[in-house]
Amino acid sequence: MKHIIIGGVAGGATAAARIRRTDEKAEIFLLEKGKYISYANCGLPYYIGGTIAEREKLFMQTPASFAKRFNIDVRVENEVIGIDTTKKRVEVRRADGSTYTENYDKMLLSPGASPCVRL
């Protein structure tokens, strides 16, 4: 079974790890448009407020360590730009602008949110 997870922060990384725990043979692809995965997003207010001085203290895993630990294909700076649920296929854009498609059996959407500052 091939799983595509769109979004690699809290929800996506947790789902990927859980799938691995329940199915050792699954193919799992974690696609994250940013550079980082699995950071402590609950700690963001403390970083913004200055209680946590270094942003790196928020990172729980590097993409490489997460991939190795859970045997997952982690692709950072890979943004999903199209989803075809009929053909079970996603279109992905790499950081260099090139695109590719990836087929899946199951897909999970966990793209997160964008912060906004209200004045």
Q: Which of 21, 35, 42, 56 is flagged as catalytic?
A: 42
Quick check: is 116 catalytic?
no
Residue type, 65: S
Q: What 8-state DSSP symbol labels residue 115?
A: -
Look at residues 9, 12, 7, 1 and name the one whose alpha carbon lies nearest to residue 79.
7
Rounded distance between C-alpha atoms, residue 105 and residue 12, angstroms = 17
Decide: 37 and 58 in contact? Cβ < 8 Å.
no
Rounded distance between C-alpha atoms, residue 95 and residue 42, angstroms = 27
State the catalytic residues.
Answer: 42
